């Protein structure tokens, strides 16, 4: 609460209006709606006025400045840091809590000065106790090497590095596993639609749950005994602080890990992170957009398979296979599969994607450009 902090500190915190003015000056060129959104989102706690930490604000703001900075991620980061500096100059980014008055205590020797009588007494009592119980004394190697670091410190650093590497590998494994489940869910839904096996009315409300949402990092569940009802024609938003499970909930629903969503339901999940294979890194942006059309991709693969069979010697297609070939060709014509690359380029152009970026491979784009 504001009363828990120094009143002079609170008076120096920026208001939303002041934040809006800083945004308009530093981020000139953004539309009014985006400026309004940014001005309200730069606070960690809007009631108090605490500005987000610098790294969090930069990560939040850089993707929105991609077009303003013509795809230059360094320039976008510079503007984001400039905005943070302007806001933090009048903000208590690291609030100071009122400290109780210091209680003066007797000085304790750290080993560089003379031993006090009290220290000497304590040391004697500890030695006598140690001898009395015959405890095994563990001695750590504190010898300092040529690099000025003790052996124990090196071992601690090695253990920490090994732990961090394990956690990074585990996070990458879980991310790849979830990405594969998301892709498989999209393929299953597309196949259901193509085969006509999709069940359920798309005009009826979708009821999900009850379900638990586990914490990917371990620990207590993020959500317990949750239920959802999605009504066609409505739009829904998830609001909550970072780490509360918004992205995890969407990922788990789309991959069918929770909620028991009908496998034939079409779900388009837009990831916050861009994971590309080595092959996809060489693609142009329009090719990546075309690849997102799962139905077209499946039909083209099936058409190629049927064509390869037809070219084989002594192949006599049955009535069912011939009908399926004609159905596949008809479906490809109906969706204008051959015109998909042109439509993808037009789509990117209409969304403000510069021509210069559309001619580059994905690996050559900045993080913000690739994410878009």
- Per-residue pLDDT for the chain (372 aa), expressed as one digit of tens each? 344 443 333 345 677 788 888 888 988 888 887 888 888 787 765 445 678 888 888 888 888 888 888 888 888 899 989 988 888 875 444 344 444 555 555 555 555 556 677 777 778 877 777 766 655 556 555 555 566 667 778 888 888 999 888 888 888 888 888 888 988 999 998 888 888 777 655 678 899 989 999 988 778 899 999 999 999 889 999 998 888 889 999 999 999 998 888 888 888 888 877 778 889 889 999 998 998 899 999 999 999 988 888 777 677 777 778 888 888 999 899 999 999 999 999 998 888 888 888 888 888 887 777 777
- Distance of alpha carbon 134 from alpha carbon 130, whole angstroms: 6
Question: Residue 133 has which token pair?
Answer: 């119980």
Contact 195, 327 (CB under 8 A): no
Q: HEC profile for 84-138?
A: HHHHHCCCCCCCCECCCCCCCCCCCCCCCCCCCHHHHHHHHHHHHHHHHHCCCCC
Nearest-angstrom CA–CA distance, 35 and 54: 18
Question: Of the candidates 246, 241, 235, which has an alpha carbon nearest to the alpha carbon of residue 272?
Answer: 246
92 vs 13: CA distance, rounded Å: 6
Give Cα 38 to chain centroid, integer Å. 19
What 3-state class would DSSP assign to 274? coil
Closest CA to 90 of 5, 6, 9, 7: 9
Cα separation, 264 vs 74, in Å, equals: 43
Considering the entire predicted model, what is its pTM? 0.52
Which strand (E) or helix (H) includes residue 295? helix 294-311
What is the predicted pLDDT for the residue at 308? 85
Query: In whole angstroms, what is the distance from residue 361 CA to residue 359 CA?
Result: 7
């Amino acid at each position: 609460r504001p009363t828990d902090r120094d009143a002079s500190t609170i008076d120096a915190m920026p208001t939303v209006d002041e934040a809006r003015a800083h945004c308009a000056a530093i981020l000139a060129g953004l539309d009014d709606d985006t400026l309004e959104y940014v001005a309200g989102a730069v606070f960690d706690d809007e009631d108090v006025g605490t500005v987000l930490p610098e790294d969090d604000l930069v990560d939040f703001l850089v993707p929105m400045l991609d077009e303003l900075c013509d795809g230059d991620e360094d320039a976008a980061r510079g503007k984001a840091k400039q905005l943070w500096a302007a806001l933090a100059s009048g903000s208590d980014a690291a609030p100071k809590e009122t400290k109780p008055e210091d209680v003066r205590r007797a000085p304790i020797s750290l080993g560089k000065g003379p031993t006090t009588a009290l220290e000497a007494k304590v040391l004697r009592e500890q030695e006598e106790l140690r001898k009395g119980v015959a405890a095994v004394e563990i001695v750590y190697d504190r010898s300092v090497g040529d690099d000025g670091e003790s052996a124990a410190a090196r071992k601690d650093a090695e253990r920490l590095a090994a732990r961090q590497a394990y956690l990074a590998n585990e996070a990458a494994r879980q991310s790849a596993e979830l990405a594969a489940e998301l892709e498989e869910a999209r393929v299953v839904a597309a196949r259901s639609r193509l085969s006509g096996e999709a069940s359920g009315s798309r005009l009826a409300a979708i009821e999900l749950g009850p379900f638990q949402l586990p914490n990917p990092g371990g620990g207590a569940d993020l959500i317990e005994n949750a239920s959802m009802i999605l009504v066609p024609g409505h739009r829904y938003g998830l609001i909550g602080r970072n780490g509360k499970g918004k992205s995890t909930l969407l990922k788990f629903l789309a991959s069918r890990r929770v909620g028991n969503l009908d496998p034939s339901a079409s779900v388009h999940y837009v990831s916050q992170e861009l994971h590309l294979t080595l092959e996809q890194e060489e693609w142009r942006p329009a090719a990546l957009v075309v690849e997102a059309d799962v139905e077209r991709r499946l039909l083209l693969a099936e058409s190629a398979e049927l064509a390869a069979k037809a070219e084989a010697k002594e192949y006599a297609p049955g009535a069912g296979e011939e009908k399926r070939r004609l159905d596949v060709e008809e479906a490809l014509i109906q969706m204008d599969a051959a015109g998909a690359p042109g439509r993808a380029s037009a789509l990117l152009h209409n969304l403000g994607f510069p021509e210069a970026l559309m001619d580059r491979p994905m690996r050559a784009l900045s993080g913000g450009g690739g994410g878009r």
